[in-house]
Amino acid sequence: MSDKVIVVTGAFGALGRAVAQRAADRGYAVAMLDYAAAPAELAGAKLVYGGVDLTKPDQTTAVMQQVRDNAGRIDALLNIAGGFTFRTLSEGDGAAWDAMYAINLKTAVNASRAALPHLIETGGAIVNVGAAGALKAGAGMGAYAAAKSGVHKLTESLADEMKGRVRVNAVLPSIIDTPQNRKDMPDADHAAWVRAEELADVMLFLASAEASAVTGALVPVVGRV
């Protein structure tokens, strides 16, 4: 087991997998958490936890304690769990707003709260995923942007609250180059997008001792747009 343990939420998605692989390549032990069931190739692995509903505080606290018990420590939490929907206000009944709040902001709040006692022990770090698109929201982006704006403010507030004990930063990506995004936007300039591995590298830098003087930062990662 590595001396350093990173927890990745949303770990079975495109970005989560990229972050987990990059972290493992750097010698970290990686605890992978996701709402989905563990893929066959990961099922049964020591620090893989599928079926975890991070919108439930008790379940989130329990799984973080399991990670701490199984790995011996937690040095960083990378809050990747989230999702996107495009919906104008006139098209919906409010369900999209509830969903975006739950999967983007509430998961980050619950995971951060549950991990904090363990991160305080190690002088660790939290890295959240905000969104460049939340800085100025276009039509149909309101629910998503509002939730991600909440992630930005959670980052700033918690960084101030935990100053000197746990560092808290966020990355603000533009469109991430994933298979789903390529499918949804086949005519876009994919070469201009942020590659998942590039975003992973920035997140791991912010989680590392090399960023020991950085907290409360909202770091744009916008590729080549």
Active site residues: 144
Both tokens assigned to 94: 């409010």
Q: Give the bridge partners for 218, in sequence order.
A: 170
Q: Are 165 and 120 in contact (CB under 8 A)?
A: yes
Both tokens assigned to 219: 């770091």
Q: Are 203 and 171 in contact (CB under 8 A)?
A: yes
| Closest by Cα among 162, 165, 189, 154 to 175 | 189
Distance of alpha carbon 148 from the chain centroid: 11
Q: Which amino acid is at 173?
A: P
Both tokens assigned to 97: 């707003």
φ, ψ for residue 45, nearest 5 deg: -65, 150
Q: Are 40 and 59 in contact (CB under 8 A)?
A: no
